[in-house]
Amino acid sequence: MMFTDKKLLARLDKMLEDGISGTFSESDYDETKLSQLESRWLRYLTSSKLSYQKTEQEREKLKELVSDISHQTKTPLANIMLYTELLQEQNLDVQSRHLVDEIRQQSEKLEFLIQSLVETSRLETGTFQLSPCEGDIDRVIQSAIEQITPKADSKQIQIRCIPESCTAKFDSKWTQEAIFNLLDNAVKYSPECTTITVGVKAFELFACISVADQGIGIPEQELPRVFGRFYRGQNVREQDGVGIGLYLSRQIIEGQGGYITAESNGRGAVFKIFLPK
C-alpha cells in the first residue's frame, strides 16, 4: 500500500471512526507500517472490549452477592430481634434489662445498616430503577413528615411545613425515603424543643424542597463531605448513626436528574433537594 500524507490521514481518521462505532476490521495484510498499525489498533480495541465485558461480569457478580447478603441475613436478624423481644418480656433484673435493651438497639442499627447498604448497592448497580413521573410534591413531603413525627415528638421537636402546591417529576417511594432521611438527620442533630422547617419553592424548571433545622450546624470544611458514604462529622461522633442516610439520599435524587445541597451558617443546617419539573 502506498499512501500520500492526505490519504494516510484519511485512512487513520476512518480507522478511528470505525473503532468508535465498533465496526473496525483490518483492510489488508502486508509488510507496511500501516498494516502493522492496523493490527495493533485491532488488538487494542479487542482488549478494551474484553475489559468492558469483564467489568460487566463483575457488576453482575456484585449484584448476586448483594442479593445473597440481603436474603441470607434477613431470617437470622429477624430471629435475633424476636428472641430479644421475648427476653424483654421476662422478669429481668435491672442489669439484665439494660443489657437486653442494648442488644435490641444494636440489632435495630444492624438491620437499618444492612437495609441501607443493600438499597444503595441496588441503586448503584442499577438493579433498582427509579421511575420518576409527574406528581404533587406536597403529598410526598406530608408522608415523610408523618413517618418522622413519632421520633420528633419524643424530643418535643416541632415540624413546621409551609405548604405550596408544586409539581415535579420524581419517584414518590424513593423520594419520600430521601426526604425522610433529611428529616431523620435534622431530628437527630437538633436539641429538644426546637423547630424544623420544611419548605417548597417552585422555579420554572426545578422544584426545591428545603429542610432547615436549629441544630448544631455543620462546619464549612465538612459540608462537601457530608454526602460521602459512611462520613460522620467531627461534632456528631457522640451521636448514634452510621453515615449512610445522606449518601443514599444523594443517590436517589441524582438518579432522577436532580441534586442535593447542604448549607450551614453555624446556626443549624439547611438541606435542599432540587427535582426537575
Partner 1 sequence: MEVLKTEALSKIYGDGESKVTALDHADLSVEQGEFAAIVGTSGSGKSTLLHLLGGLDRPTSGKVFVENKDIFSLKDEALTIFRRRKIGFMFQSFNLVPTLNVYENIVFPIQLDGNDVDEAFVGEVIRSLGLESMQNRLPNQLSGGQQQRVAIARALATKPAIILADEPTGNLDSKTSQDVLSLLKVTGQKFSQTIVMITHNEVIAQMADRIIRIEDGHIVKGGVRNDESQ
Q: How far is the CB of 91 from partner 1 (least distance, A)?
A: 48
Number of residues lying near partner 1 (CB under 8 A): 22
Per-residue x/- track, 121-160, partner 1 (CB under 8 A): ----------------------------------------
> Taking CB under 8 A as the rule, does residue 227 contact partner 1?
yes
What are the start-end ranges of the H helices in the chain? 5-21, 33-88, 94-124, 137-154, 172-188, 245-254
- CB–CB of 247/182 below 8 Å? no
Collapse the DSSP code of 203 into the 3-class scheme (helix H, G, I; strand E, B; otherwise coil) and give the result.
coil
Torsion-angle region of residue 231: left (phi > 0), alpha (psi -120 to 50) or beta? beta
> Taking CB under 8 A as the rule, does residue 73 contact partner 1?
no
Phi and psi angles of residue 117, each rounded to the nearest 5 degrees, phi first: -65, -40
> Taking CB under 8 A as the rule, does residue 274 contact partner 1?
yes
Torsion-angle region of residue 230: left (phi > 0), alpha (psi -120 to 50) or beta? left
> Taking CB under 8 A as the rule, does residue 259 contact partner 1?
yes
Q: Which is nearer to partner 1, 145 or 273 (CB)?
A: 273
Q: Which is nearer to partner 1, 191 or 224 (CB)?
A: 224
Distance CA 30, CA 205 (A): 59
Q: How far is the CB of 121 from partner 1 (least distance, A)?
A: 16
Stretch that binds partner 1, among 4-12, 123-131, 164-172, 223-231 (CB under 8 A): 223-231
Q: Which is nearer to partner 1, 18 or 263 (CB)?
A: 263
Torsion-angle region of residue 243: left (phi > 0), alpha (psi -120 to 50) or beta? left
* Candidate residues 126, 163, 224, 266; the one interacting with partner 1 per rule CB under 8 A: 224
- CB–CB of 166/137 below 8 Å? yes
Q: Binders of partner 1 among 109-128, rule CB under 8 A? A: none
DSSP 119-143: HHHHHHTTSSPP--EEEEHHHHHHH
Nearest to 16 by CA among 29, 8, 28, 51: 8
> Taking CB under 8 A as the rule, does residue 24 contact partner 1?
no
Per-residue x/- track, 196-215, partner 1 (CB under 8 A): -------xxxx-x-------
Residues that bind partner 1 in the complex, under the rule CB under 8 A: 203-206, 208, 220-221, 223-225, 227-228, 231, 254, 257-259, 261-263, 274, 276
